[in-house]
A and B are shown apart, each in its own frame.
Chain A
């Protein structure tokens, strides 16, 4: 149905795509794999009309098409669902569905017919969404369904989904897959981008792998194993996804008792030891991030105590937590972890200016020497320490945040989804760093939704559900994903 042939695209200084071919049949799911920077986004953006390719042809049903802008893409029957949705939060679902193509008579909205059309679309997808609900009141999964329904209302035949499950819970992922299977029966071709290989096992018909802007290969899913895919993506075989760690669990370090905040965190108690990686898992929204934010002083608890090395902490803000040696690597690096248009060095220095200044005067030479040391020891790939943070890949951004906290002498490190949006090769590096930190005696709390990561990395697992800790798994070696999932959903 869709053919992209010999697509080239160069940005100043980078050849983003080199002679890439893509074929999509109707009614199939083509998984598009590749590390960050492999060219997936560029390929999608060419399809969406954000860029014109330098060379190459695009044809739909054998007819050549030119996609100059998003409107051309829509006319060609292409719809792209990005990770950030294009919905107006303050408008009801029905208005969002028909935004830009309202059904009108003499300039008056025909809301009644719009609403019945909306119901028909949702029925076709086999989901129940209230057309009158405001989009901001919907869950992420529901908003995604609205996006898909909108694509259908444009009569899209080619649907591109960019990491659609990144923020969904396992149940929601199942529902999404049901919708995707439904779309397939209607002859819609789907290009599915994801970092989660197990999802690709489940949903994809064919797999296409890009590396450094070139097509590495297209395989029927039945022909390939996970390890082959990883090898195709990174160009080498990873011996182990989760590197081994020399366990050396020490004294209790951080004790949390009866912590509560609103309905998100209810009576949470646990102890974290030195040299331990404690995983905190559960569904998105189960209160894991909220718990970590309280420990970091970003939010204040309604009740409960936090004790560090036997001393009770009264955290009035992140400054107090940092001073006590607690740090948080937020799941939302772009909004909470880094100031994107400031340099790597500035971001690194922010919590550490007490050391890097004298009577308020910045000693930038010392600061530069310190960050350069971390650039080497954490192998952060940056052209210079003056590069703005937005230039960096997710893995390198994560390392900059880590460098900042290591410099601040953090003893307790709270990782919230440490590998979200980070490609496979860099993930292993992050795991190695976490191991190294644990071996140095740091106490690590790792929040993660990826159960494989939890099972592969943790010494102990805590599972949360609706703000409460519903279970602890000490025997990680013999734990299974279903075991965790049973605690997480109850």
Chain B
């Protein structure tokens, strides 16, 4: 029973294992010497100074100018003062500023126990003759933040970066998963993303008052842009169901139309001049370190998982993809379900457009080209069968992360962009092969009965 559950887990979420393995490999491959800077460096150094000196010790802090170094001196100063060490000098500037400060201290007869420096300031030539020029402080230690080894991949900033890059593709992939599960395909999502980005940006700039637009106005126009995309999805769904045009053809047409419309609306130019507050969704992190777009992604996945596993709609989507005729003869409103999934897919492409516009504070008609393929890739890599009826929404999230991690890893490892494209293509083919193998296994199983 346990082994059966394990087997089932791995057949459903086997890609999770692949993802974890890949993360481990990338961590091992990107281990590098890390030089802490700024506040993090100061905290580390403060600990070392406090451990090595008695209370009341005199500390001189010398660093370069700049945001990072100012944070370094400020944090160090606060922490050392709290621990009863006396700051006798605090320099942010050029080497000669540091030299002057040291001379002043020597002239005033102040003894220095520790000189705290950053990695860069520690290499300055001003310290070469320090012992001769400051006989009083000739035993002073020069301390700098220590470097350590840590994978570049696992740095918090990089992980957040990966999540950030995943968010748009992953959100669009929710809709695509539903479409593919219901036995369809949607090639129009990349273009709809551009349409939504351009529409929202234009509305805010032309109607909402440009840089002075209020948050309420921005929200209304973003919702309008998303709604416009959903309308396009409604059209797609109606064409697929009522006129029985193959989804591939309908969405191919819509893909071209939406892209063309986005370009026509902007005359092919990017739309700038959006309020700074517009970047709230794409750049801010209201809840601590997770960017808002990532939080939105998590919320949407939670909802989608619930819908697919616990609601009538989810059940109907699986049924339609598994065997639409049997579903129809069981009283499932097949057409409404199919129209529904195209609306959801288009709507989420619209959400993706708002996020990318917000990230870049710009709406451009060139956004999202080839995104439909990345999105389909995420769904397929996540284990959803292109023939419909089989797959899991959380598998798609794993698939989206897998692709983002691979792209990120290739960047970290300095692969050329063309090599990256080749690798991505190979991964998609491997994923489909995996799906085929699973399917063949299933057929073999069935023939035994």
Complex contact B310–A362 (CB within 8 A): yes
Evaluate contact between B323 and A350: CB separation under 8 angstroms: no
B319 within 8 A of A: yes
A357 touches B311 (CB 8 A): yes
Say yes or no: is A338 at the interface (Cβ < 8 Å to chain B): yes
Is the contact region of chain B dominated by helix, strand, or loop, or is it mixed?
A: helix
Tell me whether chain A's interface is mostly helix, strand or loop, or mixed: mixed
Q: Let me know if B448 and A14 touch, CB within 8 A.
A: yes
Interchain CB contact (< 8 A) of A350 among B310, B311, B313, B332: B332
Sample 20 A-B pairs with CB under 8 A, ordered by A number: A11-B448, A319-B331, A335-B323, A335-B325, A335-B326, A336-B325, A338-B323, A339-B323, A339-B327, A340-B322, A341-B389, A342-B318, A346-B319, A347-B330, A349-B315, A350-B330, A351-B331, A357-B311, A360-B313, A362-B311
Q: Across chains A and B, which 8 residue pairs bring their CB atoms closest together, nearest first?
A: A351-B331, A350-B330, A339-B322, A322-B331, A339-B323, A11-B448, A353-B312, A319-B331
Residue of B nearest to A391 (CB): B449
- Beyond the given pairs A318-B329, A353-B312, 4 more chain A to chain B contacts, judged by CB atoms under 8 angstroms and listed by A's residue number, are A11-B448, A335-B326, A346-B315, A350-B331
Tell whether A404 is near chain B: CB-to-CB under 8 Å: yes
A462 at the interface (CB under 8 A from B): no
Number of interface residues of B (CB under 8 A): 27
Which residues on the A side are within 8 Å of B244 (C-beta)?
A: none
Q: Is A361 an interface residue (CB 8 A)?
A: yes
Mark out the residues of chain B between 291 and 316 whose CB falls within 8 Å of any chain A CB in the assembled complex: 310-316
Q: Which residues of B contact A (CB under 8 A)?
A: 310-316, 318-319, 322-323, 325-333, 389-390, 442, 446-449
The minimal Cβ–Cβ distance linking A311 to chain B, given in whole angstroms, is 19
Q: Which residues of A contact B314 (CB under 8 A)?
A: 362
Q: How far is the CA of A177 from the CA of B359 in the complex (A)?
A: 75
Report yes or no: A317 in contact with B389, Cβ–Cβ below 8 A.
no
Q: Across the interface, which residues of A come within 8 angstroms of B312, CB to CB? A: 353, 357, 360-362
Knowing A346-B319, A351-B330, A361-B311, the reply to whether A390 touches B449 (Cβ < 8 A) is yes
Residues in B neighbouring A289, C-beta threshold 8 A = none
Interface residues of A in 405-429 (CB under 8 A from B): 408
User: A337: nearest residue on chain B (CB-CB)?
Assistant: B326
Nearest neighbor of A351 in chain B, beta-carbon distance: B331
**Among the listed B311, B333, B389, which residue makes an inter-chain contact with A319, where contact means beta carbons less than 8 Å apart?**
B333
Rounded to whole angstroms, the CA-CA distance of A422 and B337 in the bound complex is 34
**Is the CB of A328 closer than 8 A to any CB of chain B?**
yes
Q: Decide if A330 is an interface residue (CB 8 Å cutoff).
A: yes
Cα of A336 to Cα of B322 in the assembled complex, Å: 11
- Does A330 contact B322, Cβ atoms closer than 8 Å? no
A401 to chain B: closest residue by CB: B330
CA distance A4 to B311 in the complex (A): 53
Is A87 in the interface zone, CB < 8 Å from B? no
Q: Is A122 an interface residue (CB 8 A)?
A: no
- CB–CB B311/A360 < 8 A: yes
A431 within 8 A of B: no
Give every chain B residue within 8 A of A335 (Cβ-Cβ). 323, 325-326
Report chain B residues within 8 Å CB of A336. Answer: 325-326, 329
- Contact of B315 with A341 in the complex, beta carbons under 8 Å: no
What's the minimum C-beta distance from B436 to chain A, rounded to whole angstroms?
15
The complex places the Cα of A351 from the Cα of B334 at a distance, in Å, of 12
- A296 at interface, CB cutoff 8 A: yes
B333 contacts across to A, CB distance below 8 A: 319
Query: What's the Cα separation between A148 and B447 when bound, in Å?
Result: 24
Which A438-465 residues sit within 8 Å CB-CB of chain B? Answer: none
Give the shortest distance, in Å, between A356 (CB) and chain B (any CB).
Answer: 8
Closest chain B CB from A10 CB (angstroms):
10
Q: Is A298 close to B, CB under 8 A?
A: yes
Contacts of A50 in B (CB 8 A): 447
Instruction: Please determine whether A350 and B319 come into contact, CB atoms closer than 8 angstroms.
Output: yes
Asked if A353 contacts B315 (CB within 8 A), the reply is yes
Interface pair A339/B329, CB less than 8 Å apart? no
Mark each residue of chain A from 350 to 387: 1 if its CB lies under 8 Å from any CB of chain B, else 0: 11010001001110100000000000000000000000
A38 CB, nearest partner CB in chain B, Å: 13
Q: Which residues of B contact A296 (CB under 8 A)?
A: 329
| Measured CA separation A328–B448 after assembly (Å) | 29
User: Which A191-236 residues sit within 8 Å CB-CB of chain B?
Assistant: none
Give every chain A residue within 8 A of B448 (Cβ-Cβ).
11, 14, 16
Q: For the complex formed, measure the closest distance between the CB of A313 and the CB atoms of chain B, giving whole angstroms.
A: 15
Q: In the bound complex, what is the Cα–Cα distance between A393 and B446 (angstroms)?
A: 11
Q: Is the CB of A362 within 8 A of B315?
A: yes
* A328 touching B449 in the complex, CB below 8 Å, given contacts A350-B319, A353-B312: no
Cβ contact within 8 Å between A298 and B328: yes
Residues of B within 8 A of A360 (CB): 311-313
Taken together as a complex, chains A and B put the C-alpha atoms of A16 and B449 apart, in Å, by 9
- A contact residues around B322 at 8 Å (CB): 339-342
A364 to B327 Cα, complex, angstroms: 19
Q: Shortest beta-carbon distance, A192 to chain B, in Å?
A: 21
The residues of B that contact A391 with a CB separation of less than 8 Å are 446, 449
Contacts of B327 in A (CB 8 A): 339, 350
Instruction: Tell me which residues across on chain B come within 8 A of A339, comparing CB atoms.
Output: 318-319, 322-323, 326-327, 389
Q: How far is the CA of A390 from the CA of B333 in the complex (A)?
A: 24
The contact string, 1 if C-beta is below 8 Å from chain B, for chain A 58-73, is 0000000000000000
Q: Report the minimal beta-carbon distance from A212 to chain B, rounded to whole angstroms.
A: 15
Chain A residues lying within 8 Å of B442, measured Cβ to Cβ, are: 341
Residue of A whose beta carbon sits closest to that of B328: A318
Query: For the complex, what is the distance from the CA of A420 to the CA of B180, rounded to whole Å?
Result: 33
Q: Is the CB of A317 within 8 A of B328?
A: yes
Q: How far is the CB of A475 from chain B (nearest CB, A)?
A: 35
B315 contacts across to A, CB distance below 8 A = 346, 349-350, 353, 362
How far apart sit A338 and B332, CA to CA, in the bound complex (Å)?
12
CB neighbours of A361 from chain B (8 A): 310-312
Taken together as a complex, chains A and B put the C-alpha atoms of A298 and B325 apart, in Å, by 10
Q: How far is the CA of A341 from the CA of B319 in the complex (A)?
A: 10
Chain A residues near B329 (CB-CB < 8 A): 296, 298, 318, 328, 330, 336-337
Residue of A nearest to B389 (CB): A341
**Distance of A347 Cα from B332 Cα, bound (Å):** 11
Complex Cα–Cα for A353 and B314 (A)? 12
A328: B residues at CB distance < 8 A: 329
Instruction: Render A13-52 as a binary contact track against B, CB cut-off 8 A, 1 for contact.
Output: 0101000000000000000000001000000010000100
Contact B330 A404 (CB under 8 A): yes
Q: Closest Cβ of chain A: how far from B120's Cβ, in Å?
A: 60
Listed residue (B318, B330, B389) with the most chain A CB atoms within 10 angstroms of its CB: B330
Interfacial chain B residues near A390, Cβ < 8 Å: 446, 449
With both chains docked as a complex, state the minimum distance between the C-beta of B342 and any C-beta of chain A, in angstroms: 19
Residue of A nearest to B335 (CB): A317
Inter-chain CA distance A127–B339, complex, in Å, is 50
Residues of A contacting B325 with CB < 8 Å? 335-336
Given contacts A296-B329, A350-B327, contact A341 B390 (CB under 8 A): yes
